[in-house]
Amino acid sequence: MIWPVTLLGAVAGLAVASIPGAMLGGLLGQVLDRRLRLQSWAALRERLGGRAGGRDEWLLFVLLGRLAKSGGRVLPAHIQQARAEMQRLGLDAEGQRQAIAAFARGKTGRDSLRVPLRRQHARSEMLMRACWRMAWVDGQVGQAERELIMLWGKWLQVSSAIQAQLSDAYAPPQGPLVSTASNAYQRALNLLNVNADAEPAQIKQAYRRLLSRHHPDKLAGSGATPERVREATERTRELHQAYDLIRQRHGFR
C-alpha cells in the first residue's frame, strides 16, 4: 500500500524545512490520504481527475443491473427501484444518464467486479443495502440474486451475520402482497385504486402517483421514525407487486 500524499508531503517538507518539515508534511499528508482513501498513485490521479464519485456510482448501478437481470427478466419494479436509488443519491441529469448506462451494462454481466469491490470497503454497507433493496423489490429473493449478493459481500468483507440483518431489513414481514390466486388480481386493483377496465395509461398514472406519495426516500431526511420508514418501504413493495400483476394481466409494458 502506498500513501501518495503522505510521501509528497514528506518530500516537500524536507525540501522546505529539513527533517522537522518532512515529519510535519508527512503527518498532514497521511491525514489527507486517510480522509480521501488514497492508497495508490492511481487513486490520487483519479481523485485529481474528478472521476472518483462517478466511478463509485457507476459500480453501484452495474451491481443493480446485474441483480435485476439475474432472474432472467428485468421487471418494471426493478427499473423503478433503480430510479429511486438515483433520487436518493441526488444525481443530476448527466449523472442519471451515466447511471442508466451503467445499469444497462450491468445487465450484460460482462464486467469483472471482484477488484472494484475490494476497493469499496468504506462503502460496503451502503452498497449491500442498495443490493438488498433491489433484490427484495418484487417480494422475493431468488437463488441467483442471493448468491450474487453473498459473493459481493465476501469481496467487500461483509460478514454473513451482517448480510442476514440487511436482508431482513428489506424483506416483506408478512410475505407477498396476496396469498391466493383467486383474489390476487382484485387486491392489486384495489391497492392502485383502478378498475379492471382501466386503460394502461390510467393504471400507470395511478401507480406512479402512489409510488411518489409513499416512497420511503421522502421520509428518510424528514426526521420520520424508523417505524414510519419501514411502513413506507412495505407500502412501496406492495405497489410494485400490484402494478406488475395488473401489467401482466392487461398485457402492457
Helix (H, G, I), strand (E, B) or coil at 3: coil
* 45, 129, 121, 25 alpha-carbon torsion, rounded to 10°: 60
User: Which candidate, 28, 50, 47, 51, places its Cα nearest to that of 39?
Assistant: 47
Query: According to the model, what pLDDT value does residue 60 have?
Result: 94
CA angle 234, 155, 147 (to 5 degrees): 50
Query: According to the model, what pLDDT value does residue 69 have?
Result: 93
pLDDT tens sequence across 102-153: 999 999 998 889 998 998 888 899 999 999 999 998 888 888 999 999 999 9
Domains along the sequence of the chain with CATH: 4-48 (no CATH), 52-170 (1.10.3680), 181-250 (1.10.287.110)
- pTM here is 0.52
Q: Where are the alpha helices (DSSP H) in 174-223?
A: 181-192, 200-214, 217-220
As given in the structure block, the three cell numbers for residue 16 are 522546505
pLDDT, mean of residues 92-101: 91
Q: Where are the alpha helices (DSSP H) in 90-136?
A: 93-108, 114-118, 124-136
pLDDT tens sequence across 177-217: 444 544 677 888 888 888 888 888 999 999 998 888 877 77
Residue with cell 498532514: 28
